[in-house]
Amino acid sequence: MNKVSLKTRHFLSVNSVTPAEWQSLLDYAIALKAGGWNTLLKNKILAIMFEKPSLRTRVSFEVGMRQLGGQAIYLSPAEVGLGQRESVADVSRVLSRFINGIACRTFAQQNLTELAKWGSVPVINALSDAEHPCQALADFLTILEHKGKLQGLTLAYIGDGNNVANSLALACGMTGMNFTIASPAGYTLNEKYVKLARKYARASGAKITLVEDPRAAAAKADILYTDTWTSMGQEAEAKIRRQAFAGYQINEKLLSLAKKDAIIMHCLPAHHGEEVAKGILDSKNSVVFDQAENRLHAQKAVLASLLA
């Protein structure tokens, strides 16, 4: 089992890797999932530094390091105070003297850029306001397992053009998967990511489409994907967002417009009765718990490639 050789030292964005490297990471994740525990990262230590609470991200990184023969140290917001108690530059330089890599879950993408700039160890984006590349890698691993391919499929994203949507759009463009996002006015995909995704799509043959009508997005889709209407840090906007996204729910009616074998995806945590109808994530079309498990295997591929 050979690790993937990446040109980058860091995994800050889907755009950190080339389309070929993205596919190689998926292939490596499949091999690591089948292979079980190993010692690829023996004597390696990962610092897991979070500004936001987490279930899947923290557990999958900690378990991933253990399954690769390494160790992980969790650093809470109060312990680090990134950019407040201590500058990002100083945090990065200090940690680089102790550990072999940093996985950071932060409110600002700029913090990741600074960690990578000032430190001497690989930095992994465990979620930022701009992107969630580890989630996208796990998602594409899940799609590959259930559909057997990526090229030519259509992923319909229903809801907020947020960090997850940004990463999915880039990954779709890279792999030749069509990406359609249905969002209300004012909540659509960031133009920077639209342009970059379409640049990749021109080479892969994919289509990147923005619409307002969720029914138009769902029609004949292979994958229906959504996320919470209100993410961490947006709690003050919750009432306004519930009104704006009221018609953007994945339910049986929307599912009926997609292909019969369409799968339903959600990066979790889910607000049942809001972005997804109650019970829809328990339906035969739902793959959300396969998706959650694959965070472990996808991240192991990233960890082994950068730290081994």
Task: Give the residue carrying structure tokens 């030292």.
Answer: 9
Which of 58, 53, 46 is CA-nearest to residue 99? 46
- Selected catalytic residue, list 10, 227, 297, 299: 227
Q: Is 58 a catalytic residue?
A: no
Q: Is 132 a catalytic residue?
A: yes
Q: Is 135 a catalytic residue?
A: yes
- Which parts of the chain are beta strand (E)? 45-50, 71-75, 101-105, 123-125, 154-158, 178-182, 208-211, 223-226, 263-266
Separation between Cα atoms, residue 125 and residue 11, nearest integer Å? 6
- Selected catalytic residue, list 132, 241, 266, 297: 132
Which of 259, 265, 301, 307 is CA-nearest to residue 283? 265
- Selected catalytic residue, list 10, 134, 135, 291: 135
**Interacting residues of 239 by C-beta distance below 8 A, sequence separation 6+:** none
Q: Is 105 a catalytic residue?
A: yes
- Selected catalytic residue, list 104, 267, 297, 299: 267
Q: What is the DSSP letter of 3?
A: P
- Selected catalytic residue, list 241, 266, 295, 297: 295
Separation between Cα atoms, residue 184 and residue 174, nearest integer Å? 26
- Selected catalytic residue, list 105, 241, 266, 297: 105
Which of 210, 212, 206, 224 is CA-nearest to residue 261? 224
Which sequence positions are flagged as catalytic?
105, 132, 135, 227, 267, 295
